[in-house]
Amino acid sequence: MIHQVPVSEEQALREKNANSFPTPNPCSLSFGMAVNGAMSWCKTTTRDIDDCQLVETGKYFQHRFINKLPDLKGCGPSNSGLEVSSWPDRLAFILKATPESDLEHVGLKMKLTFPAAYTVLLE
């Protein structure tokens, strides 16, 4: 069930995931790099917990950097990755790619998809 009115902090911290998220259908995030027209989508991480760095955190904010993405071919693994910042009411994604050599005709692409249940806006 989507909350039609904002709930208190205490209610939000105690509610179950089934109440917080209105659908079992997942959101999806796709991102990658196109070089000379060939798209390389990032499909996995190294699965090493040390490659997901906590940059900053607080009561209502979390900022992480996921580096060493194997599918970002030709990019320096330590300076390239996905930066994620989250607040209770928004997300920010930044895809950083630092090439190890000169590249031409390069583009970064990101696609974020939400199930239809997430189209309700609170005012």
pLDDT tens digits, residue range 56-66? 999 889 999 98
Structural domain span for residue 34: 22-115
Evaluate whether residue 32 is within a structural domain.
yes
Number of domains making up the chain: 1
Evaluate whether residue 7 is within a structural domain.
no
Q: Of the given ranges (11-15, 19-23, 88-92), which has the lowest mean pLDDT?
A: 19-23
Does pLDDT of 81 surpass 80?
Answer: yes
User: How far is the CA of 101 from the CAs of 49, 51, 81, in angstroms?
Assistant: 28, 23, 17
Rg value, the chain, Cα = 17
At residue 12, φ and ψ (nearest 5 deg) are -65, -40
Evaluate whether residue 71 is within a structural domain.
yes
Question: Looking at residue 2, what is its pLDDT?
Answer: 53
Residue in 95, 88, 99, 97 with CA at minimum distance from that of residue 112? 95
SS3 26: coil
Evaluate whether residue 84 is within a structural domain.
yes
Evaluate whether residue 48 is within a structural domain.
yes
Question: Looking at residue 3, what is its pLDDT?
Answer: 53
Judge whether 107 and 117 are in contact, CB under 8 Å.
no
Terminal-residue alpha carbon distance, the chain: 17
Q: Which pTM value belongs to this model?
A: 0.68
Pairing of β 90-96 and β 62-67: unpaired
Judge whether 80 and 107 are in contact, CB under 8 Å.
no
Evaluate whether residue 17 is within a structural domain.
no
Evaluate whether residue 9 is within a structural domain.
no
